[in-house]
């Protein structure tokens, strides 16, 4: 079976990819809202709620498996699209406007209230700075990029990909090498074992990191200006796969057809991985296991790495299968997702601290956090961003929306 490497015109299929990019960002808000309720033997978040929830622990774990890999795959796909539409100079200018500028402006705006919330949380016995976290002011290269680290990594990946592409174009003028790479990539994706092949690099990185456990997922560089190896490998691979998928867009049809198989496998692997987490961090007084922690950690790495790619392909297939048509509501949320993700963290953190001591079920408090935080964030987007210069910076000019469904960092 052969696949064309020609970039096809924009079709309804791109609505699904734009929606998926927005869902990945919005799931980040849900993920962060769960963190104070996740059962843990030690505090890893700024506040540990008095009512923890296994259900929210599983939800947090499941989202963490695939969300950022899915996002960076979309980023690579739309990066190649944007580069070919705008040219190299236009692409760089666009990325500086939509990625670098928001990072530079948003960071101090969101970090200041986040720091104040941490100070507030310190007044509770189960809150305050996370043990072992870098203190302020940081000593470079330590730097609290917080939840905006993904913008920093995106910029690094753009530079790396432009340099790599420039070298390949220069030394492969005939296109022979690129054709070979395309054929090899198509063979991998066409094979049902594709997720296992793609999981090998990050799986090796997990196994070599003696401190890694599956609740970490891919280590994120949220506290340093030097991106760690796991982030380069895990998210760089996803970015590259997205780039290569845009070279052979017809491969998306194959992933769409496999959505159910990928979904069932992903659910199974995520559940098994979560159970392994409980076995590794069993409660004090629980019967000791005959299996060593090192063995459980190795099994976790072997299962977690393919779970990342199977669940990412499941998310992609689901979006292509059920969200290919245009939906005004999905389109609006996809456009709003960038702004909502930029500003949500101090709001969610403050609500977590405010509710942490109340004698209410964890699920109820989690729902309240989302219900209280979402309306004002959406209102701020509609009133302050969507039709203003801020919206033009984040999502491009409104007139561009009639051309391609790639607002915000969908073109990342």
pLDDT tens, position by position, for the chain (412 residues)? 444 444 444 444 589 999 999 999 999 999 999 999 999 888 899 999 999 999 999 999 999 999 999 999 999 999 999 999 999 999 999 999 999 999 999 999 999 999 999 999 999 989 988 877 777 778 889 999 999 999 999 999 999 999 999 999 999 999 999 999 999 999 999 999 999 999 999 999 999 999 999 999 999 999 999 999 999 999 999 999 999 999 999 999 999 999 999 999 999 999 999 999 888 876 444 455 667 888 889 999 999 999 999 999 999 999 999 999 999 999 999 999 999 999 999 999 999 999 999 999 999 999 999 999 999 999 999 999 999 999 999 987 654 443 344 444 433 3
Is 114 inside any structural domain?
yes
CB 409 within 8 A of CB 16: no
Residue 328 belongs to a domain: yes
Q: Which domain holds residue 58?
A: 13-411
DSSP count for the chain of H helices, then E strands: 13, 0
Q: Which helix (H) or strand (E) holds 337?
A: helix 328-355
Three-state DSSP class for residue 42: coil
CA 83/CA 94 separation, integer angstroms:
10
Angle at which helices 362-380 and 13-34 cross, to 10°:
130
The answer to the question of residue 94 being in a domain is: yes
Number of domains into which the chain is organized:
1
Domain-located, residue 196: yes
What is the Cα–Cα distance from 166 to 117, expressed in whole angstroms? Answer: 45
Is the backbone peptide bond immediately before 250 cis, with ω within 30 degrees of 0?
Answer: no
The structure tokens listed for 301 are: 């790495």
In a domain, 5, yes or no: no
Residue 77 structure tokens: 């796909």
- 187 Cβ contact list (under 8 Å, min separation 6): none
The answer as to whether 255 is a domain residue is yes
Residue 171 counted as domain residue: yes
Q: Which two tokens stand for residue 217?
A: 């997922």
Query: Is 8 part of a structural domain of the chain?
Result: no
What does the block give as tokens for 338?
């960038």
> 0.95 exceeded by the pTM?
no
CA distance 207 to 50: 34
Which distant-in-sequence residues (6+ apart) come within 8 Å of 177 by Cβ? 168, 171
């Amino acid at each position: 079976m052969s696949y064309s490497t020609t970039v096809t015109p924009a079709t309804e299929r791109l609505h699904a990819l734009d929606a998926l990019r927005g869902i990945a960002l919005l799931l980040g808000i849900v993920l962060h809202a769960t963190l104070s309720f996740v059962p843990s033997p030690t505090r890893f978040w700024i506040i540990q709620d008095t009512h923890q929830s296994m259900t929210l622990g599983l939800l947090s774990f499941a989202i963490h498996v695939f969300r950022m890999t899915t996002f960076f795959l979309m980023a690579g796909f739309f990066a190649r699209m944007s580069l070919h539409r705008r040219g190299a100079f236009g692409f760089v200018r666009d990325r500086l406007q939509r990625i670098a500028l928001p990072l530079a402006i948003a960071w101090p705006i969101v970090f200041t209230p986040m720091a104040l919330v941490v100070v507030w949380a310190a007044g509770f016995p189960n809150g305050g700075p996370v043990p072992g976290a870098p203190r302020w002011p940081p000593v470079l290269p330590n730097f609290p990029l917080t939840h905006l680290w993904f913008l920093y990594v995106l910029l690094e990946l753009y530079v790396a990909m432009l340099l790599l592409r420039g070298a390949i174009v220069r030394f492969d003028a005939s296109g022979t090498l690129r054709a070979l790479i395309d054929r090899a990539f198509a063979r991998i994706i066409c094979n049902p074992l594709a997720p296992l092949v793609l999981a090998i690099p990050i799986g090796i990185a997990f196994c070599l990191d003696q401190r890694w456990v599956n609740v970490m997922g891919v280590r994120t560089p949220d506290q340093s200006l030097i991106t760690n190896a796991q982030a380069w490998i895990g998210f760089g691979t996803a970015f590259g796969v997205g780039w290569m998928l845009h070279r052979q867009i017809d491969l998306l049809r194959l992933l769409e057809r496999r959505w159910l198989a990928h979904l069932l496998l992903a659910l199974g692997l995520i559940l098994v991985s979560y159970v392994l987490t409980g076995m590794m961090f069993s409660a004090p007084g629980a019967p000791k296991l005959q299996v060593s922690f090192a063995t459980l950690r190795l099994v976790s790495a072997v299962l977690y790495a393919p779970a990342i790619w199977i669940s990412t392909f499941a998310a992609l297939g689901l979006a292509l299968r059920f969200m290919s048509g245009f939906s005004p509501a999905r389109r609006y949320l996809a456009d709003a997702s960038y702004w909502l993700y930029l500003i949500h963290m101090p709001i969610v953190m403050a609500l977590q601290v405010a509710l942490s001591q109340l004698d209410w079920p964890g699920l109820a408090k989690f729902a309240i956090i989302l219900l209280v935080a979402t309306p004002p964030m959406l209102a701020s987007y509609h009133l302050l961003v969507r039709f203003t210069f801020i919206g033009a910076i984040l999502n491009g000019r409104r007139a561009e929306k009639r051309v391609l469904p790639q607002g915000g960092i969908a073109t990342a």
